[in-house]
Structure 1
């Protein structure tokens, strides 16, 4: 019986359903509160754009909610774990299950199974919804909450060098010969690296070679002379491929799209440690939900009448939040090459899995 993690179908369904309902309730509560606070801080900027109104506020909320769900789903699983286990302990249900011969792992098995389903759903949700919503929202923000670009392959705040000169754009859409720019600035530099002139234009398109700036204005640094050009070609050494490689936002890329971007980075001889770390984390991130029942399991055991149940719940919460702190620190280390990408993404998961199992086995098994 000790090797059968689901000895009772009725008990498994009861615990899984109870846990799932609490995860959903906590997630809805967190998202609603955070979305309200976010709208309070961003509504002024959204409504400042000409023509924007309530519909745009709802659009912003629809794009922001998937990000909040993806970010706070693991926290919801952690809090739901503590609420579920503390309630079961207070109602002596854990005592009844252990008296029936169930081990600590068998008590937790339905919760871990539910968390595994949540992890799979989280990965699919991130791939199909969150990346697209993030790409659209970032492009909208880069466009000062004006018309949302309808093109695919949108990049914001692009910065690329061509020889000594620099080409920057607030927004880039399209690929290859169809690439377009908005909010363009071109900086001409001397051999010593000093900026000698700045050319600004509202739009630009690829001219093969170079980039055609429309309604451009050139400002000389020395003398502050300003000259207007209805059409001006700059940056003949800069290609669309350079721009595509200059700005890869992994938050807006799905797992398979990011795989292709990493391959192109490596083919170009560029360092891809940061991208590969986040690529691995697209797998390890959703798996964090799987850890939460194990880290919070300390709240399930021990006599509720002993007065230590609150302390146990705090320890479980501390372990869960410690995981997120270590995970973020490891990602930062992997981003600048301090850790190998795979280690940076998965080391916190396996470390806290061992910590949780050690606590569970030494205290209850």
Structure 2
């Protein structure tokens, strides 16, 4: 009897997990296809103007795919769970499972492993694949740009020093208008350097060209103009890919890169709060998907006579979208420094979990 029960549980787990995974992947494929089409409608003309042809369009679509997958995953989880649970209910499969003694929370437990698997895949996607693909895309886009001098300037921290770069060209190997503000251990400004451009010379590192500078003695309130230098080495550990990442703004970052930034070992143009909130949100991705699954669960209470005319799936979809929006709003407030990282990531999970549990318990006691 025990062996039969174990086999039954295994079959049920495999059936429900397979049904959920199939629908989530199907929804993700549809959403990503739509997003790819919209992105290509916007970028096809610039790609063709750069004489990249059809191969360039395919390269862009391929390198953009992980980023779109990451963005579409939460909504795909919500819609996929709603589709699966609604189909189970309308096909009377839920009635059969309930008659066999399966409770609502028992059903939820059978769906948790598949949800966690999707969530862990999302963590790997965000942490390893998306940063690499976006880095490659940014480098390719910069390398094929016929007018890189029109790119935006940016500032960043490199140890105690502050640096400003006018634009990046040749996939990060050429920098235009480099300003370096050297500070001592007390973060006091001691020297400024202004270079017309900088070139990466492989094993020899960076060379600054047409360099002017100022020597600053704040204690004695004295400023001396440094002699003009045609070229000089730039003592920095940064590589071309680092400048591509910095020029891309809020590009996806791996966990190791974020930790290096927080420790001051890697250059950063983001606040510590922004980096910490990003890390917390990334590793809470499985928990977010579990909350979305919980929000979709009330559709199993669709009355048999109502069928497809029920508004319950619409209400669940609206609640799931509200959860995604609230998460994004709190994260934006965390990025702006208005909320500490834990407050910007955790409360939405707790609030919507309690709300979904309340709805399920009320339906159970009817």
TM bucket normalised to smaller: 0.7 to 0.9
Segments of 5+ residues of structure 1 without an aligned counterpart are 147-155, 175-179, 189-197, 217-230
- Aligned-CA RMSD value: 4.0
TM-score scaled to structure 1, two decimals? 0.74
Query: Residue 71 of structure 1: CA displacement?
Result: 0.7
Partner of 2:149: none
Query: Residue 294 of structure 1: CA displacement?
Result: 0.5
Aligned residues of 1:131 and 1:252 also touching (Cα < 8 A): yes
Aligned residues of 2:327 and 2:348 also touching (Cα < 8 A): yes
Paired with 1:181 and 1:41, the residues of 2 have a C-alpha distance of 27
Segments of 5+ residues of structure 2 without an aligned counterpart are 147-151, 181-193, 212-228
Structure 1 residue 37 and structure 2 residue 33: aligned? no
Paired with 2:309 and 2:354, the residues of 1 have a C-alpha distance of 23
Q: State how 1:250-329 maps to structure 2 within 5 Å.
A: 251-264=251-264, 271-306=271-306, 310-329=310-329
Q: State how 1:8-157 maps to structure 2 within 5 Å.
A: 8-50=9-51, 52-145=52-145, 157=153
Describe the superposition over 1:114-157 as per-residue Cα deviations: whole angstroms up to 9, x where unpaired: 111111111122222111001111233344557xxxxxxxxx85
Q: Tell me: CA distance 1:120–1:242, structure 2 relative to 1, closer, same or farther (3 Å).
A: closer
Which segment is superposed worse, 257-266 or 355-364? 257-266
Q: State how 1:233-244 maps to structure 2 within 5 Å.
A: 233=231, 240=236
Partner of 1:221: none
Q: Tell me: CA distance 1:297–1:157, structure 2 relative to 1, closer, same or farther (3 Å).
A: farther
Aligned residues of 1:274 and 1:336 also touching (Cα < 8 A): yes
Paired with 1:209 and 1:142, the residues of 2 have a C-alpha distance of 20
Q: State how 1:207-222 maps to structure 2 within 5 Å.
A: 212-213=208-209
Describe the superposition over 1:277-312 as per-residue Cα deviations: whole angstroms up to 9, x where unpaired: 112112123432222210111112131313686311
After TM superposition, which residue ranges in structure 1, 4 or more long, deviate above 6 angstroms?
Answer: 4-7, 241-246, 265-268
Describe the superposition over 1:166-208 as per-residue Cα deviations: whole angstroms up to 9, x where unpaired: 732433899xxxxx653512579xxxxxxxxx975485779x9
Paired with 2:75 and 2:348, the residues of 1 have a C-alpha distance of 16
Query: SS state of the match for residue 17, structure 1?
Result: helix
Partner of 1:194: none
Aligned residues of 1:273 and 1:337 also touching (Cα < 8 A): yes
Partner of 1:224: none
Partner of 2:189: none
Paired with 2:256 and 2:362, the residues of 1 have a C-alpha distance of 41
Paired with 2:78 and 2:48, the residues of 1 have a C-alpha distance of 36
Paired with 2:124 and 2:307, the residues of 1 have a C-alpha distance of 42
Partner of 2:338: 338
Q: Tell me: CA distance 1:267–1:33, structure 2 relative to 1, closer, same or farther (3 Å).
A: closer
Aligned residues of 1:5 and 1:109 also touching (Cα < 8 A): no
Paired with 1:161 and 1:28, the residues of 2 have a C-alpha distance of 39
Query: Residue 82 of structure 1: CA displacement?
Result: 0.8
Query: Residue 60 of structure 1: CA displacement?
Result: 0.8
Paired with 2:201 and 2:13, the residues of 1 have a C-alpha distance of 60
Paired with 1:6 and 1:321, the residues of 2 have a C-alpha distance of 37
Q: Tell me: CA distance 1:64–1:145, structure 2 relative to 1, closer, same or farther (3 Å).
A: farther
TM-score scaled to structure 2, two decimals? 0.74
